[in-house]
């Protein structure tokens, strides 16, 4: 029988949302329109319209060693062109952000190729070739994985994911990269490392509380779905915990 991934345990809505995000055959809902130039501005790695700087000559121009793996794996566009490796980093608020660091890494590993994600408690970074990065970033920003108020694109000084929200509902950002305007639209006024942009980049309105609670992938005992309510999830985590603890003693089930 062919292997069919289950993506994750759980019977709760949160578990279902997690599986939906991870499953590459499920299309993520598009929430906003952001242009390619906007993405380049927020990332801040190159000027919009500039050529991609390279780390090595294009693969077609250089002699490749005779390697069976290279014959199996098709290089991504960025690798083919010899682009530099660049990054995008997100911070997700604990107050019902649509995604969170571990979830992002799982989702990206299932959906994208040629990436190197780094997962931390409050932030998640993904590195890849610049051309691929811009393509992937566009998907990460435009779809339901991002909320304009509770997700921050932050290359440095990410502090804020576990803090109270501001009065207007925005996640705390020491550098205030994104600002909620009078018209209710969030605009990035600085790039991800905190350098002011020449023009503000609009990324749409923050999603409402009801939508966030229905689409969040975060268990939360205050106002959300408590982790303890999902018995299947608990059972799975306890099983993994028990097996890895007993591993040195050669567990037999």
Partner 1 sequence: MTEAIYPQVRIVSARFLRPDTAEQLLNRLVQVGGIRRMSINGPSIPATVPYGPARGQPNPHPDRKVIHVGDQDVQLQVQVGTIILELEDESCISAICEAVDEVFADKDFSCTVQQGRYMKTQPTMSDYAKYGPDADKEILGLVDPRKKGGPIIIQGTK
The residue count for binding partner 1 (CB under 8 A) is 20
- Measured from the CB of residue 108, what is the shortest distance to partner 1 in angstroms? 23
Pick the piece of the chain touching partner 1 (CB under 8 A) from 63-71, 108-116, 175-183, 199-207: 175-183
Q: Is 175 in the site for partner 1 (CB under 8 A)?
A: yes
Q: Is 160 in the site for partner 1 (CB under 8 A)?
A: yes
Contact between residue 185 and residue 204 where contact means Cβ atoms under 8 Å apart: yes
Contact between residue 160 and residue 91 where contact means Cβ atoms under 8 Å apart: yes
* Cβ partners under 8 Å of residue 135, min gap 6: 77
Rounded (10°) angle between helices 130-142 and 36-43: 110
Q: Is 168 in the site for partner 1 (CB under 8 A)?
A: yes
- Measured from the CB of residue 192, what is the shortest distance to partner 1 in angstroms? 9
> What is the distance between the alpha carbons of residues 108 and 115, in angstroms, rounded to a whole number?
8
Q: Is 196 in the site for partner 1 (CB under 8 A)?
A: yes
The closest of 178, 181, 214, 221 to 197, measured between CA atoms, is: 178
The closest of 154, 210, 202 to 181, measured between CA atoms, is: 202
Q: Is 157 in the site for partner 1 (CB under 8 A)?
A: yes
- Measured from the CB of residue 88, what is the shortest distance to partner 1 in angstroms? 14
Q: Is 152 in the site for partner 1 (CB under 8 A)?
A: no
The closest of 13, 37, 43, 70 to 212, measured between CA atoms, is: 13
Name the phi and psi angles at 91, rounded to 5: -120, 130
Pick the piece of the chain touching partner 1 (CB under 8 A) from 27-35, 58-66, 107-115, 165-173: 165-173
Residue in 85, 109, 115, 165 binding partner 1, rule: CB under 8 A: 165
Q: Is 185 in the site for partner 1 (CB under 8 A)?
A: no
The HSE-up count of residue 245 (CA atoms within 13 Å, CB side) is 6
> What is the distance between the alpha carbons of residues 13 and 227, in angstroms, rounded to a whole number?
11
Residue number, 74 or 157, with CB nearest to partner 1: 157
Task: Return the structure tokens found at 1.
Answer: 């029988």
Q: Is 214 in the site for partner 1 (CB under 8 A)?
A: no
Pick the piece of the chain touching partner 1 (CB under 8 A) from 46-54, 110-118, 143-151, 188-196: 188-196
Residues that bind partner 1 (CB under 8 A): 155-157, 159-160, 163-168, 172, 174-176, 179, 193-196
């Amino acid at each position: 029988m062919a292997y069919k991934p289950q993506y994750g345990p759980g019977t709760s809505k949160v578990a279902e949302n997690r599986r939906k995000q991870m499953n590459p055959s499920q299309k993520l809902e598009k929430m906003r329109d952001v242009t390619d130039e906007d993405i380049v501005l927020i990332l801040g790695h190159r000027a919009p319209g500039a050529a991609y700087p390279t780390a090595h000559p294009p693969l077609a121009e250089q002699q490749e060693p005779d390697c069976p793996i290279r014959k199996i794996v098709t290089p991504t566009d960025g690798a083919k062109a010899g682009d530099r490796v660049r990054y995008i980093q997100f911070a997700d608020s604990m107050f019902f952000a649509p995604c969170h660091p571990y979830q992002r890494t799982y989702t990206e590993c299932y959906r994208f190729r040629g990436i190197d994600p780094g997962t931390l408690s409050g932030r998640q970074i993904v590195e890849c070739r610049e051309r691929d990065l811009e393509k992937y970033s566009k998907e990460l920003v435009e779809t339901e994985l991002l909320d304009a108020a509770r997700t921050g694109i932050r290359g440095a000084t990410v502090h804020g994911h576990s803090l109270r929200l501001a009065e207007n509902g925005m996640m705390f950002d020491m550098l205030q990269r994104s600002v909620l305007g009078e018209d209710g639209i969030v605009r990035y006024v600085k790039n991800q490392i905190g350098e002011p942009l020449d023009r503000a980049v609009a990324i749409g309105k923050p999603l409402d509380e009801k939508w966030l609670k229905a689409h969040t992938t975060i268990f939360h005992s205050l106002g959300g779905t408590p982790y303890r309510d999902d018995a299947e999830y608990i059972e799975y985590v306890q099983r993994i915990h028990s097996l890895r603890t007993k591993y040195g003693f050669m567990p037999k089930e």
